[in-house]
Amino acid sequence: MNQPEITILIPNYKTPELTKLCLRLFNKFTPPGRAEFLVIDNDSGDESLAYLKTLPWIELVERTVAPDESGPAMHANALDLGLAKVRTPFVLVAHTDTLPLRPDWLDYLLSEIRRSDRIAGVGSWKLEHISFWKKTGKLAEAFFQSLTGRRKKEERYLRSHCALYRTDLLRQHTRGFNDGDTAGRSIHRLLTEQGFEMRFLASEALGKYIMHLNHATGILHPPEGSRRCARPEAKRRLGATMDSEFFRSVLADPSLDRRPAEKNSEVSGS
């Protein structure tokens, strides 16, 4: 039997339908024996937690959230709790709104990180499709802001909606996901300072394998003071996406809650 190459860490917080869609797609498109799934529930106490308890092929970790714990801290603490349990050479952090789209998604990510031993992580800054005109408008806006001195330099890092790391480097050279910064930001900085490469994958390439429903978890549970996530049009867009024929077929298929048995003759990909 092949040893799993990767552990997939997914924090969960009160997104029942999205959680079910996410895990069924990971189950559908991840070959048996290739990955371990570790889901960390942030004190949901709802039907998403009840659903997770029915899945024998995931390791479920339930954590108690402190009364004053913020959303970002909950997410980062969940990732650190999961990371402590990882036994595989690679670890992928994802959200419940991160959705694999095809069976070679894992091969693609592993092939990118294995291009060099000095690559410590691969993933995305913003995994979204932007039209030509919107992209042009953003570039023009950035240009004029730079002329007026109003544009601040943005620190880009592999975001936790889709970031694949070498587990040993993550443990040896970083302080984990919750060190007072946004999850993944200081990790990116520290690994880069140690001379390792953190590779951004173009949205056009990565988006063929994985979809990220941008801000979906925030739209379902808007953070305090977030006007973008609370907008009615944001909920309408998310609802329209979730209502696609493909996603509805996945949500209607309970067989995807069962993990296929691994075949002894199966050869692990790279």
Give the confidence band of 132 by pLDDT, cuts at 50, 70, 90: very low
- % of the chain residues with pLDDT over 70: 79
Question: 270 pLDDT exceeds 70?
Answer: no
Going through the chain in order, the beta strands assigned E by DSSP cover: 6-12, 35-42, 58-63, 90-94, 98-100, 119-123, 162-166, 197-200, 210-212
How much is the pTM? 0.84
Which among 221, 205, 72 has a CA at the least distance from the CA of 127? Answer: 205
- For position 90, what pLDDT does the model report? 98
Q: DSSP characters for 217-245?
A: HHHHSPPTT-HHHH-HHHHHHHHHHHTSH
- What whole-number distance in Å separates Cα of residue 143 and Cα of residue 137? 10
pLDDT of residue 180: 82
Instruction: Quote the mean pLDDT of the chain.
Output: 86
- CB-side neighbour CA atoms (13 Å) of 261: 3
Domains and CATH numbers, the chain: 6-257 (3.90.550.10)
Query: Are the C-beta atoms of residues 57 and 33 closer than 8 Å to each other?
Result: no
Q: What is the pLDDT of residues 134-154, one digit of tens each?
A: 444 444 454 455 556 655 567
